[in-house]
Amino acid sequence: MMAGHSLWWWYLAICSLSIMGSMMRFYILQVEKTNITPYNRPESKTLGDLPTVMTTQRASTARYTVRTTLSPVVRAKQMRQVTLHCKTVCSKSAADICVPLDLAIFVYKNDTPTDNMTFNLQKYNPVVHIARESNTSHESSVLDVERCNLEEHFPGVELIPRQTSCAVIGNSGILNNSSCGDYINSHDFVIRANMGLIKGYESDVGKKSSLNAFNRGLLTAYGNAFLKSKEIAEKPEILLRFLEHIRTLKESILWYPKHLVKSGGVHPASQQYRAVIDTIKKNGLSGIRFAFNWKPIQVEKAWGLPMGSATLGLDMYAVARTFCSNISLFGFYPFYKDLEGRAVKYHYFDNGKFNFSLKTGHHFALEHTKLKELEKQGKLNLVVRDCKPKKHILV
């Protein structure tokens, strides 16, 4: 009886094992048919495997891409393209200076070829990719930010570092016999206008030159002459006079503060400026650098002046305030007689005549009044008298 019962259990066990084997074979066949793959633990990602946010720049004819590693949380989000509107631009290479973008002077690096000086960064807003905040398509394509980084967002150019003291030199005849040369030279940074002559006037206007601004009229005169080789051949004195002055500037920056680009075509000023640059470089004057503004300088609204009426001198002072701690103005004097009643020439370096009472588009007297007000507030030093060498102390 016991033996029969044992055989019965053995029979049930064998049948069960046979059924289980058949089921396992059937399951394996089904897996192979449906290409089901087993789960594998993902390998941990290294820093280089993380996705990046892209900042795409077009400077001159080159294309620059800046990559910034995102955190694992951000990389899970969908990216979107936005245009940055920066209030200020900061530069680590210029001792971490930050200046208002609207007044920023961009200086091309010394090794930039003339062909790459297209001034395409004028009024250019950086385009970046950032994490999308939601899945909707209503997010703004513009991102207002307090600061942009020059090296990342505006490659190929530099800012002027902060200066302790700056002298801004106008061209008024008030400088004749002023003996202000040594006082001007004592400043850390000297800004000059419209290629005012230095040679032969050093005792009155100094010899130091850091930044040289020029207006539309001067750019047109020289630029067109250099674009037309026939004109230079017929009037070689134009080129000789220009190069003689440029040599006195030594290692200085040449700066045009107005429009250089336009949508849908080439701005004439851009062609003229590049002709000037090319002429300087071809004549071996490698110490000269070239600059332009992110936005063409227009200070009239801030100064309460009619649009288009500000002088180059006022543009120079407005920009100097962004990187100079202490500013002295020389040669800013739109009157026929000085404070002692002596006659004053229009320019210290020539005998040109000018009628300040004529409506020329500029408001000389109004600008002078506003500068006097700023002097009373301690924001500048307006020098309109003869200088006494070695008695002026900068603070």
- Cβ-Cβ contacts under 8 Å for 108 (sequence gap 6 or more): 117, 156, 157, 158, 289, 290, 291
Contact predicate 188/211, CB 8 Å: no
- Cβ-Cβ contacts under 8 Å for 350 (sequence gap 6 or more): none
Q: How far apart are CA 117 and CA 274, in angstroms?
A: 7
Q: How far apart are CA 128 and CA 80, in angstroms?
A: 8
- Most distant CA pair in the chain: distance in Å? 147
Contacts of 320-323 with CB under 8 Å at 24 or more apart are 320/166, 320/168, 320/191, 322/99, 322/100, 322/103, 322/104, 323/97, 323/99, 323/159, 323/160, 323/161, 323/162, 323/163, 323/166
Q: How far apart are CA 279 and CA 210, in angstroms?
A: 20
Exposure string over 205-234, b if 16+ CB within 10 A, otherwise e: bbbbbbbbbbebebbeebbebbbeeeebee
- Cβ-Cβ contacts under 8 Å for 82 (sequence gap 6 or more): 127, 128, 129, 130, 140, 141, 142, 143
Instruction: Answer yes or no: 362 catalytic.
Output: yes
Total Cβ atoms within 10 A of residue 34: 7
Catalytic residue among 187, 259, 347, 362: 362
CA distances, 176 to each of 137, 218, 346, 388 (Å): 66, 23, 11, 14
Active-site annotation, residues:
362
